[in-house]
Every structure is written in structure tokens, then in C-alpha cells.
Amino acid sequence: MVPLLRANLTNPSIRDKYPIYQKLAASGFTDYLVLSVPFGTRTVSFENGSEWVLGASVSFATKRRSGFTKREIDGLARLSIPLFGTVRVYTEQFLAAELMEAYLGRISGQSVLSGQISRGDVQEIDCALLFSDMHGSTALSQRLSPEDYVAAVNRYFECVAGAVHDHGGEVLKFVGDGLLAIFPFDGHRRLPEDMCEAALSAAREAFQRRAEIAPEDQTDFGIGLHMGSAIYGNVGTEKRLDFTVTGTSVALVSRLENLTRSLDAPLLATSEFEKLVTETPLTLGSQSLRGFEEAVEIFALEHLA
């Protein structure tokens, strides 16, 4: 292994190049060594346009006046090999966890990483459900350029999905310009009352975030809130799986959000949800929902606190 970098800190022209050299020299160090190894040929791109090879580095410094000997550098290089192997394992685990969280959400991503990867590997969970959809998106897509339309959709997602994440929920699915999120219960720290309050707070924060956007960039959306059981886990085909929630509760909350347009009420909730929050909502009576034989009692909540 060839050193990536070696700096003689007793040489003023080298020492003054970087603040770290100056700091080490001021502490009495005379020689600085960096060993590095790439992990294959993969690179990581950053927002500023820079690109780095994925790998690991380790640095050493000595206060001995003569610096490191060649034998010592060779020995440090050999000792670094198992260290780099360990770092690679943890790096791969970290990247996998970050990717799972970015694409599936924290809770669902952890479930997949822990081995829940078989079709039909599902469980029934109790949760608060939040469904939101952007209003007027079809007309907006025809009026704006593709780039401006995507920017508008992303601003909407930042309002709703950002608020969901900040209040402990998990966005499970983006459906076109809508999204489905859950606030699962666990019977210990995530109690039903607390999770329903968190879902309501997230919904209100979403509308508050929209209010903070320039008026010309704001988009209308509605939010439906429900509490119930859902089927949570892997569904799909043998070659293409989706980790999500499905079932009657999911269908109900999506139909509920659709009523926000006809009822002119941006934030609606079912009686199951309303019973678990401390609000005194406006009752809108029983409403027929597509696909449901019985009418559902609907409540309107103030969307701005």
C-alpha cells in the first residue's frame, strides 16, 4: 500500500500549506502520513458538483525528529488493511440503511434490512393514516414547463412529507402527486392518542409550510386522517416487491381526502381518528365514499392552528 500523502512538518514551505499541518507542527509533530484505499470504482457525488471515490483513509503523525522510517510505514500499511476491511463493512451497512430510509422510510427500511423480504411477509398493524393529494395538478402540468411542474410538486412534497417526518411519521408511498403516510402504534412509546395527535400536528404544519411559500408558488392540497388497522409488508410479484400498507383503512383515507374538494374542507378526519384527539371538530355528517357500502361519519378540522 503506497501512502496517499506524506508531509514533512519541519519544512516551513510544506507546514504552511494547510491549517492542519500548522496545528500539528505547533503541537510538536514532525511527520504526517495518510494511508488510503478505494472500495472498488464507485464514486459519490455531492450537491456542489464534486465527486469522490468511495473508500477509507487513516492518518498517523509522529513527534520523532527523524519522522517515520520506511519500515514503520510498511508496518502501518499492513496494520491498516484489517481496519479498512472493517470500515468497508460498516460503510456498506451505513449506505444500505441510508438508501432504505430514502426509498422506503426508516421503519420500513429497517424491516427490509432485518430480512423481511419475502412476498406475502406481512403483518397487521394499528396506525394513524394520513393521505394527501395535490389539487389541480393536471391543469398545472399543462400550464407549466416540465421543470417548473416538477419543482411545484417537490415544493408540495416538502410541505407534507417534511412535516410527516418531523412529527415521527413515515411516508410509505408517493402516488403521482399524492402521498400516503402512517404513524404506527407500538403500545409503549407510540401510543394511539400520541400518534393521532402527531398526525394532526403534521397535517397542520404542512399547511403552515405552504403559507410560508411565496403566493405565486403555492399549490392547493387536501389531507385526510384516519385511524385503523392496515396490512403492512411485502406485496407484489416474485420479481418486483413493494413494501407498503394496504387494506380497507388505506382505501378509506384516500377516499376521505377526495372529499376535501367537494366539501371545501382541506382537512378531514374520520370518527375513529377524531375520538383520539383533543380537538372539537365540525361534524359534516355521514358521507358516502366510493367503494364503501355504509356511509362514513366525517369531521372537518381547522387546518391552521
- Which pLDDT tens digit goes with each residue over 272-301? 999 999 988 889 998 888 888 889 999 999
Confirm if 38 and 55 have CB atoms less than 8 A apart: yes
- pLDDT digit string, tens, across residues 121-137: 677 889 999 999 999 88
From CA 1, how far away is CA 228, in angstroms rounded?
A: 59
From CA 188, how far away is CA 82, in angstroms rounded?
A: 41
Lowest-pLDDT range, 80-84, 110-114, 257-261? 110-114
Domains of the chain (ranges, CATH numbers): 5-104 (no CATH), 118-300 (3.30.70.1230)
Instruction: Give residue 186's pLDDT band: very low, low, confident or very high (50, 70, 90).
Output: confident
pTM confidence score? 0.68
Q: What is the pLDDT of residue 39?
A: 77
- pLDDT digit string, tens, across residues 143-179: 899 999 999 999 999 999 999 999 999 888 888 788 9
Confirm if 234 and 199 have CB atoms less than 8 A apart: no
